[in-house]
Every structure is written in C-alpha cells, then in structure tokens.
Chain A
Amino acid sequence: MKSLRGYIFSRKFMGDFCHQNTQNLVLRDYCERKNYKYLLSFTEYGIIDSYLMFQECIDLIPGVNGIVCYSLFMLPENQVERRNFLNTVLDKGGEIHFALEGLKISTCSELERIECIWLIRQTMENCITTIYDK
C-alpha cells in the first residue's frame, strides 16, 4: 500500500478557508477510499507565501510515496514556483494528490492537466465571476 504524507493549510488559499480538522477529515477519507496509507499531516505556516512545510513534505520523498494536499489551490500562485515544486516531486519519483478535487499528479501529462486548471482559475479573476447580486 502506498503511503502519502498529509499536507494542510493554516491560512486562506485563493480566497478560501477551511478548518484544519475538516481538512484532515477530507484527507483521511480520501486515503481510505483510494486505499492509501495516510500519514499525519504537516501544517503549512500561516506566513504569507510560506511553503516551508511543503518543502519538508517533498524532502521526505521517496521515503514516502507522495503527498496528499487538501486542495489543488493550496499550491503557490506563482507559476514558476508551483511548477518547480511539482517537477521536483515527479523527479523524485513521487506523486501528489489533491483530496478535495480528487485529482493527482504522478506523470507529466497529469501535471499539465493540473496546470491548465490553475491557469483558468487565475484567469477567472479577470473574467465576470458574479451575476448581479449573487
């Protein structure tokens, strides 16, 4: 059974916030359903743009098979930084899962799929996103 290190956030990501215990519940449920061994989560620092704990998680690969993040949108907003992290995970033979979205990256093509979703999400900030008073 593959083992995945949990990774959760203690600050907002892309405008969203989720309590840490809820994030952990989602990770645990994801690993149970997908038959992965869930390793207790590392919690990212609340300092803006901090990815110190994320780097810690990456450093554990290949001792663990990969990382399970609560959401895809916890990754760095900066594209170069984001791709560097993800490429490092792949270069080390690891994989990264996103429990909320049910997505994962274990190959280059999966990385491009995730990157596409990221770019659209960022582009949406410049598109209409609300409808009258909704």
Chain B
Amino acid sequence: MLSITNKNSFLIDEDIDITQQYLKNGFYIAPAADKIALSWIKSSFLKIIKDELNIKTDSNEEQLFDLIHKKVPISELNSFRLSVMKKMNELPDFRKNYFKVAEPYLNILVGNELAMQVRVNLSIQYPNDNSSLLPLHADTWSGDSPFEVVVWIPLVNCYNTKSMFLLPPSENMKLNENFKQMAGSKMEDLYESIENKVDWVKIDYGNILIFNHSLPHGNRINEENETRWSINCRFKSVFTPYWEKPLGSFFEPITLRAASISGMNYKLPELK
C-alpha cells in the first residue's frame, strides 16, 4: 500500500504523523478543533430534545442524553430520532459548525477543497436495545466512494459496547483475501470471524473520530447503562470519484478554491 513519509511528501511532520495514524489504524481521534462550534451543536440538540419532550426545566441537562431511554419509550425511539435530526438539519448553521469541529484534520486527511454530505445522520442507541443495530458493514459495499471519510462526533462519552467497532486495515486485507469463502454466510457469521480482531473506539465527548468507512464497522447491543448519541457526516475531496452518492443530492461543495472556480469558468477564446 502507498505510504506517506517525509521523504516522499512535503507535508509537515505533524501532518505526516496524523496521516500515518489514519492509514495504519483506519481512524484518527482528536479534540474538537472548534470547541465553541461543538458546544453550539450539543446545546442545539439539547434545545430540540427539550422541545420535543416538552421539558421546561431539567436540573441535570448533561444526563438527559445518557438517560434519554428513561424519557422516550423504545417504541417511539425512531420517530423521535427522525424528528430531532430533521430539526437539526434545518438549522442553517448546523453543517458549518459541524465542519468547523473537524476542519484542520479534514484539511490534512482529505484536502482543503471539500464536498460535505447534505444531511447529517444521528444515531441513538439505547441500552440493551436490538432494534437500532447497525450490523457489520462497509459503506463502500453499498455505494459510498472509498475517497470519503466519516466524521463521527459523540455527544456523550462512548466506550465498550456503547461505542462502535472498526476492523483495522491490516485485518481488512486478510478479510478481503478470504471474502469469497464467506459466500452464502450471514453477516453474523462474518462478524464472528473477526470479532476478536476489531477495535472498539473509546472516545469522550469533546473529541471527534474520523474514520475510513471502507473498513468493516458497526455496533452491537449496547450493554452499558447509558444511551449512545452520535452524529456522523461524510466528507470527500470535491474532484474525486463519486459512486452511488452523487454530487447535488448527497454531497455539496463547501470549500471551493479560487483556482478551481477560475478553471471551471474558463473558456478558450474562439476564432470563428
């Protein structure tokens, strides 16, 4: 696999270190680059949740996220999640703040001329709930371009089964080599074959995870006592291949640069 070192790249040492970590582990965890933007996101969620549940005051707002399963019945979880997400996505500053939280890392790992997913996703995973599981999968298996990264932002502290798992690149190579043997198997069989190879991501609120969604990942039943809240959004370099998630409906450019704008508008003079 192509690697980046200070011998073959002009990136500064710090950026090479981040690049190497991402390529080796399949993910990179870092503190939110813009703490104010992250606070804005969390407090906007809080306001929407309180409106949804008609909560006027709550002495322990911090715990509202972790203990939401005590307020919303599981039968209403999906409609609640969809409603919260719809309202968040309607806030004009949401995506801009989302971007700010990850901007310098995206500039290093993806580039500085980016396309961003139009609608941000929300996951809410109750303790012991098997209705909102995301079985083992790679996003590229269902049409996402391998040129994308996912910026995954936890709104609560995530650990063990309250978090998500990811298969490291080295193990993914082995899995791909043996993939044909899995024909006719269930995804659960596939998971069991790699269960002891996956990394469970430990990440606290205040940090972000950027991961390679072409690596198999997912979640299991949350066996902790708290609910997971996380949001995720894909980013890619504007001028890289799009697969089934097209520009316009799924991605939109957010940081086009002057030379590209000039180039796209350029017309050779005509003599006739």
Contact = CB atoms under 8 A, between A and B. Distances in A.
Q: Do A and B bind each other?
A: yes
Q: Which of A100, A113, A124 has the most CB of B within 10 A?
A: A124
Interface stretch (B17-25, B76-84, B156-164, B245-253): B245-253
Interface in A96-134: 98, 100-103, 113, 116-117, 119-124, 127-131, 134
Interface in B214-254: 238-243, 247-249, 252-253
Interface in B135-169: 145-146
A72 interface: yes
A129 B145 CA distance: 10
B241 A101 contact: no
A1 B243 CA distance: 37
Q: What band does the interface of chain A fall in when counting residues whose beta carbon is under 8 Å from B?
A: 20 to 34
Given A128-B241, A131-B146, A120 B249 contact: no
B243 A120 contact: no
Contacts of B247: 117, 120-121, 124
Interface residues of B, number: 19
Given A72-B248, A128-B241, A130-B241, A123 B264 contact: yes
B265 interface: yes
Contacts of A102: 118, 249
Nearest to A114: B248
B145 to A, nearest CB: 8
Contact of B248 (A117, A122, A127, A129): A117
Classify the secondary structure of B's interface with A.
loop
Contacts of B253: 116-117, 120
A26 to B, nearest CB: 11
B256 interface: yes
Given A100-B249, A134-B243, A120 B265 contact: no
Contacts of B145: 131
Given A119-B265, A120-B264, A123-B264, A129 B241 contact: yes
A65 to B, nearest CB: 22
A98 B260 CA distance: 25
A122 B238 CA distance: 12
B252 to A, nearest CB: 7
Nearest to A116: B253
B263 interface: yes
A131 B264 contact: no
A73 B248 contact: yes
Interface of B: 118, 145-146, 238-243, 247-249, 252-253, 256, 260, 263-265
6 contacts: A98-B248, A117-B253, A119-B264, A120-B239, A123-B264, A129-B241
